[in-house]
Chain A
């Protein structure tokens, strides 16, 4: 009906009726939805950090009369073999994951920015060296590299933090380097140089201006990887100490009690971790949609 009625409407001077899909893709609606998702994701993460901080004492509280209880209103995530409340332990563990994730993603993103800027500004030899370094880091399976570095740093909390911090930059470096080279080869940089602007001016006004949005989005999107890798290393026993309330440790403990039927020890904390990772990822993807609108169009 739309084509015919549109034609009729135009004849009568009415504007054409928007089709349903057009409404959904109107820029304002899409933008508002994006902002709402960023706000909701950030609020969820902030709430977890606050709850994890408040509950850090009660997560260690043992209650031998309330051992291995399945989920209930008093203990939504159940209790473990020492009667500790699993919801409190999970929230404290998530806060720890977020803290390590923040540190690791920041360190990795800064390494990526420095290497990409060097590759873009310091000429072809440096560029080749940076590319080679990226290839070298991608040559070994990431988890094997994490194990090697965690071992080299003496295992434990220090080992896992260093390992996740210094291994997440290669993919972002590749992206930023490509972006830096594209800007360096552009006409407006050539024009700026002809106008007499120096290398530093160009780097600041053109290169950095282009790299900062990609850097910010990349930083947020590195976060989920870092969190998951920290949890994996702790789960394998190569990360945080067995006494730390970390998600990897909780899940590795839960593995021992699974055959006894204590499903809630593994299912719910893992689901919580998945939710947090998804929330951070949603924030990152929506930030990218704002920073780089072209990436959204199919």
Chain B
């Protein structure tokens, strides 16, 4: 059962990756940015036509697009994404080391925004129509309209420039070796970008959880539990939290796409050397192999998020556990969503 589902998912991912590869390669082909110009950059004036021809030959730029796509796709299937022009290293290596830095940032922001958003959503639902509920809702709607990079600039101004509590940039202190940086030093550098990214992610989860919890509080089973004398913390814990947690977890896993987008902006504001910053660099300086690699990698990243969300849903929701009652469970779950 599980193996069958996983095989199905793997097939879907393969089709998806093939489509993304074709589409992104076509986009790169359409770009008027000359790869040789992009590679030589500021040195362009000092390079003669012979050297240009040599560079073009080395990258295989003289072949027709279809041949190049075939060669590239063949290497990708074997796990070789080519060489990054700006980092002068294999794309897989660049993505791996950059993603490790981004992962610390994204994971902490993901957990923080999830916990904070869920808590605020439940609080708003329990104090429905009060001033607190209004404040949470207005705050969440306002945050949803706030540009992530502007939030980052605000935090930077207040906490790094004015108060001096946190460093202004980078993942480690300037001049210190990234390999030997202490955990405390890393955490200090992580704090502001992670806070920026969490603030960007709180609003949807808080609003969604509030709506869920309100509909749970209005449901027949809560009315029944109340009629039987259940109230206070027990009622919230047993009836509301468990039922509201499932869609919240699902939503949080489905938000990895926005999370990565936010990390691109947060990393740019704080010069944090993660994958997001590398994406911007690749776009600015025309590093086609790296851009293609990042497109494929982030597709897998988003897909994994959705897969984990579904799996957790199955683990958390007892209605989905037994296969015989799965259909009934599905329709109930959909009902809760609407």
Contacts and interface: CB of A to CB of B under 8 A. Distances in A.
Interface stretch (B87-95, B175-183, B263-271): B263-271
Contacts of A278: 141-142, 145
B30 to A, nearest CB: 5
Contact of B153 (A136, A152, A258): A258
Interface string A259-272: 10101001100100
Given A136-B19, A267-B154, A298 B214 contact: yes
* Chain A interface residue number, banded: 35 or more
Contact of B265 (A136, A139, A149, A232): A232
B28 interface: yes
A274 B200 CA distance: 13
B23 A144 contact: no
Contacts of A78: none
A216 to B, nearest CB: 20
Interface stretch (A35-43, A116-124, A235-243): A235-243
A266 B257 contact: no
Most buried by A among B23, B157, B291, B298: B157
Nearest to B218: A298
A251 interface: yes
A3 interface: no
A232 B149 contact: yes
Contact of B257 (A142, A255, A267, A281): A142
Nearest to A140: B299
A254 interface: yes
Q: Is the interface of B mostly helix, strand, loop or mixed?
A: helix
B295 interface: yes
A138 B257 CA distance: 8
B8 interface: no
A231 B295 CA distance: 22
Interface in B147-206: 147-150, 153-154, 156-157, 161-162, 168
A101 interface: no
Contacts of A258: 153, 156-157, 161
* Chain B interface residue number, banded: 35 or more
Contacts of A144: 260-261, 264, 279, 294-295, 298
B23 to A, nearest CB: 7
Most buried by B among A147, A153, A155, A267: A147
B214 A274 contact: no
Contacts of B20: 136, 139-140
A13 interface: no
B33 interface: yes
A218 B281 CA distance: 34
Given A139-B299, A144-B279, A232 B147 contact: yes
Given A147-B283, A263-B157, A266-B153, A141 B16 contact: no
What 10 A-B pairs have minimum CB-CB distances, sorted nearest first?
A143-B261, A270-B150, A152-B27, A277-B145, A141-B260, A154-B32, A147-B283, A141-B257, A266-B153, A278-B145
Interface of A: 21, 135-136, 138-144, 147-155, 224, 228, 231-232, 235-238, 251, 254-255, 258-259, 261, 263, 266-267, 270, 273-274, 277-278, 281, 298
24 contacts: A136-B20, A136-B23, A138-B257, A141-B258, A142-B257, A147-B279, A148-B295, A151-B283, A151-B286, A151-B291, A154-B32, A232-B265, A235-B268, A236-B264, A237-B280, A238-B284, A251-B147, A251-B150, A251-B153, A255-B153, A266-B154, A267-B154, A270-B147, A277-B145
Given A138-B257, A141-B298, A259-B168, 12 more contacts: A140-B257, A140-B302, A141-B261, A144-B261, A147-B291, A153-B30, A155-B283, A238-B283, A238-B284, A258-B161, A270-B154, A274-B146
Interface of B: 16, 19-20, 23-24, 27-28, 30-33, 129, 141-142, 144-150, 153-154, 156-157, 161-162, 168, 211, 214, 256-258, 260-261, 264-265, 268-269, 279-280, 283-284, 286, 291, 294-295, 298-299, 301-303
